[in-house]
Amino acid sequence: MRLIFTLMVILGLTSPQAHPAQPFGHYTSIVWDKSDDPHAEGYAVILHQENSVIFGDFLYAPGSIDITRSKLFDLKIEKNRIEFKTKASCCREFSKETEIDGRPSRDYFIFQGIFKNNHLIGSLEHRNGYQPEAHVKPEIIKLRRTSESGDLMSFKRWQNSSPPPADW
């Protein structure tokens, strides 16, 4: 039996140090109004860890019934500091440059912050992906840690779970 396990390690089919994915943290400020037509507002960050890899998703609730979920990229965590970027299309936008039916929004988020006392606190920039260099005033957000772990998944399953970040 030990010989079979050793061969599996050599072939890369398993690892003696492998650890299944674990929740790293679920932070949220999303609140639902209590009307007959419920709408959600706020943000959430769901982080998982598998071995030394930390990965996750960003949720954005702009005040509608839909909550947009997007993958984090350029994620860096050092000690109590965190930064990441994400891209999503949260709605349709209408302007002089668009056709009559509008175009999908390009929502580009950049976050820099810290983990502090069961919160994720930091600066969030919400840029227009059609004009990513336009200056925007960052919003200071505070997300509280919850006991939820979200849909716990392996790194491989997370990679294949939804489209990669937009290429715009």
Interatomic CA distance for residues 149 and 164, integer angstroms:
22
- Cβ atoms of residues 82 and 122 within 8 Å: yes
Q: What is the mean pLDDT of residues 34-43?
A: 86
> Domain coordinates of the chain in residue numbers?
19-161
Is pLDDT above 60 for 21? Answer: yes
**In 3-state terms, what secondary structure has residue 6?**
helix
Alpha-carbon radius of gyration of the chain? 19
In this predicted model, which residue has the larger pLDDT, 87 or 96? 87
For 25, other C-beta atoms within 10 Å of its C-beta total 22
Question: What predicted TM-score, i.e. pTM, was given to this entire model?
Answer: 0.79
pLDDT average, residue stretch 133-148 = 90
Candidate from 25-34, 40-49, 57-66, 108-117 with smallest mean pLDDT: 57-66
